[in-house]
Amino acid sequence: MNGAPEMIETLVRDLRPVRRLAPPFVRATLWLLFVIALALAAGFTLGQPVALWHRLASPAFVVEFAATWLTGVSAAFAAFQLSVPDRSRNWAFVPMAPLAVWLTASGSQCWRALSAGGGWGQGAEPSCFIFVAGAGAPITLSLLLALRRAAPLEPVRTALLGALGAAALCAAALQFFHPFDVTFLDLGFHAAAVALLAGLAALLARTTRTRRG
Amino acid sequence: MTQGPDRAGAAPKSGAASSMEAVPPSPQDGSFESLMVRVQDGDARAYKRLLESVVPLLRSLSLRALRHPHDVEDAVQDILLTLHRVRHTYEPGRPFLPWLIAISRRRIIDRQRQAGRERRREAAFAAEAETFRSPAANNPVVFDDSDLMAAMVNLTPTERRAIELLKLRELSLKEASALSGVSATALKVAVHRAMRRLRGLLGGQS
């Protein structure tokens, strides 16, 4: 029963000043500014911004586009909030609403394309998958690095949210390069890319936690 | 955005955390928040005071969720270690206890899971089921330290001190030397002689 006093002595001896972590809101904003600036820069220089501008005339597309951005931003905010101990775990549910809107809007667009005589996968290319997974991986990694210093109590849930955020932001940026409506096959590619990123992030978080003991 | 679910989650709701209302701990001087800010700046005295003030709370939180005393003690130590590791995540200006309780709840759940796993995997050792070929070996022998204590009277004070520090308290030579003021070499010689004499005195019984 004498463990705690001895441990206190040891911890007190080991005490060093620490650099305080900035509030999660500030850290999330900084990270998002960096990623969104990168996505917009790539979209405007390498993508087809004019085609995107024309598609924005359709209200259904505007809803989908906005929901994609919102999913990315809210998932990133949620991940940063969960990375410190005393924030509500309910933050994990915040991105679910825009995610539902995003999936519904994409799904209904697919349905319309299918009803209009388009095939299940017309215009769909594996390049979408490669784009979301390829661009999402370094972004997820940068987010996990940013979250690492915070030492989240639930690393797996935090990493899953982070990966969802990164993948959604990439899917939003993809609209610059993907000037046509999504099909079911596209949606499948998106889902696979998000699942792949989320799985890798969770695996990474679990490994890190095991190593830390 | 930080004000929404964030504030709602700051108040502990269930199980272990609800004991907070019942036992509001208070440090001897200064609030937890001001102590924690000093801890982040490296103030060891503030740290000692803070940790000593929260241990009873951590123990009562753990007691509500864990049955075995050693699990409770392990959970308290886990929480203290985590607090130490993540002390940079405390945000000055926010209440300290919700931060601490969030850490505690997580560590207590981890400990519950580990205890559950251990119970499923391990069974208590049943000594009575064990029988040996030699009849003498089947007699239960309980170590009786009264013989050892009686034999220790025959040692010189230095030898007795050496046995006490190095063998009974299992300190290192360096620690024992610092504590007794006797050099490490002298302690080594004393413990060697004492062991030889004790072996002689107790040898017939073992």
pLDDT for residue B23:
46
Say yes or no: B11 contacts chain A, CB-CB below 8 A: no
In angstroms, the Cα distances linking A52 to A125, A130, A183, B23, B192 are 18, 20, 17, 60, 87
What are B34-43's contacts with CB under 8 Å, separation 24+? B35/B96, B36/B87, B36/B90, B36/B92, B36/B96, B37/B92, B39/A15, B39/B87, B40/A17, B40/A18, B40/A20, B40/B87, B40/B88, B40/B90, B40/B92, B41/A17, B42/A15, B42/A16, B42/A17, B42/A18, B43/A15
pLDDT for residue B7:
40
Distance CA(B27)–CA(B50), nearest Å, equals 7
pLDDT for residue A123:
54
Average pLDDT in the B125-143 region?
Answer: 63
| Bigger pLDDT: A128 vs B174 | B174
Cβ proximity of A192 and A124 under 8 Å: no
- Closest alpha carbon to A144 in A82, A89, A87: A82
A173-177, A188-192, B107-111, range with greatest mean pLDDT? B107-111
- Closest alpha carbon to A95 in A166, A181, A191: A166
State the pLDDT confidence band at A158, using cuts at 50, 70 and 90: confident
pLDDT for residue A120:
55
pLDDT for residue A212:
46
Percent of chain B with pLDDT over 70: 74
pLDDT for residue B1:
37
List chain B residues with CB under 8 Å of A23: 2, 91
Distance CA(A71)–CA(A69), nearest Å, equals 5
Structure tokens at B180: 């007794």
List chain A residues with CB under 8 Å of B53: none
State the pLDDT confidence band at A66, using cuts at 50, 70 and 90: very high
Structure tokens at B201: 């005195």
Tell me the per-residue pLDDT of A17-46, one tens digit each, with 9 for 90 and over: 999 999 999 999 999 999 889 888 888 888
What are B132-138's contacts with CB under 8 Å, separation 24+? none
List chain B residues with CB under 8 Å of A24: 2
Average pLDDT in the B23-40 region?
Answer: 75
* Interfacial A residues in 111-170 facing B (CB < 8 Å): 149-151, 153-154
Cβ proximity of B83 and A149 under 8 Å: no
Structure tokens at A30: 């900084």
Q: Which of B2, B42, B48 sits opposite A25 (nearest CB)?
A: B2
Average pLDDT in the A66-72 region?
Answer: 92
Percent of chain A with pLDDT over 90: 23
Structure tokens at A91: 């933050």
Q: How far is A69 from chain B (nearest CA, A)?
A: 16
List chain B residues with CB under 8 Å of A91: 5-6, 9
| Closest-CA residue of chain B to A151 | B86
DSSP code at position A45:
H
Q: Is the pTM of this model over 0.90?
A: no
| Closest-CA residue of chain A to B71 | A1
At what angle are helices A155-174 and A184-212 packed, to 10 degrees?
Answer: 150
Within 10 A of B39 (CB to CB), how many other CB atoms are there?
26
Distance CA(B81)–CA(B177), nearest Å, equals 30
Cβ proximity of A87 and B7 under 8 Å: no
Say yes or no: B102 contacts chain A, CB-CB below 8 A: yes
Percent of chain B with pLDDT over 90: 28
pLDDT for residue A52:
81
Average pLDDT in the B63-78 region?
Answer: 87
Q: Taking 60 as the threshold, does the pLDDT of residue B197 lie above it? A: yes
State the pLDDT confidence band at A181, using cuts at 50, 70 and 90: low
pLDDT for residue B160:
85
* Residues 6+ positions from A126 with CB-CB distance below 8 Å: A189
Residue contact B2–A7, C-beta within 8 A: no
DSSP code at position B164:
I
Q: Taking 70 as the threshold, does the pLDDT of residue A102 lie above it? A: yes
- For residue A147, count CB atoms less than 10 angstroms from its CB and return exposed for 0-12, middle for 13-18, buried for 19 or more: buried
Q: Which residue has the tokens 């060697």?
A: B192
Distance CA(A45)–CA(A194), nearest Å, equals 25
pLDDT for residue B53:
92
List chain B residues with CB under 8 Å of A3: 73-74, 76-77
* Phi-psi region at A151: left, alpha or beta (left = phi > 0; alpha = psi -120 to 50): left
| Closest-CA residue of chain A to B99 | A86
Within 10 A of B143 (CB to CB), how many other CB atoms are there?
6
Phi–psi pair at B50, nearest 5 degrees: -65, -50
Q: How far is A11 from chain B (nearest CA, A)?
A: 7
List chain B residues with CB under 8 Å of A154: 106
* Residues 6+ positions from A140 with CB-CB distance below 8 Å: A162, A163, A166, A167, A197, A200, A201
State the pLDDT confidence band at B149, using cuts at 50, 70 and 90: confident
Average pLDDT in the B122-132 region?
Answer: 64
Say yes or no: A23 contacts chain B, CB-CB below 8 A: yes
| Closest-CA residue of chain B to A84 | B89
Q: How far is B152 from chain A (nearest CA, A)?
A: 26
Amino acid at B83: L
Q: Which residue has the tokens 């969802």?
A: A164
Cβ proximity of B198 and B168 under 8 Å: no
Q: Which of A32-41, A117-126, A192-201 has the lowest mean pLDDT?
A: A117-126
* Interfacial A residues in 61-120 facing B (CB < 8 Å): 77, 81, 83-91, 94
| Bigger pLDDT: A127 vs B67 | B67
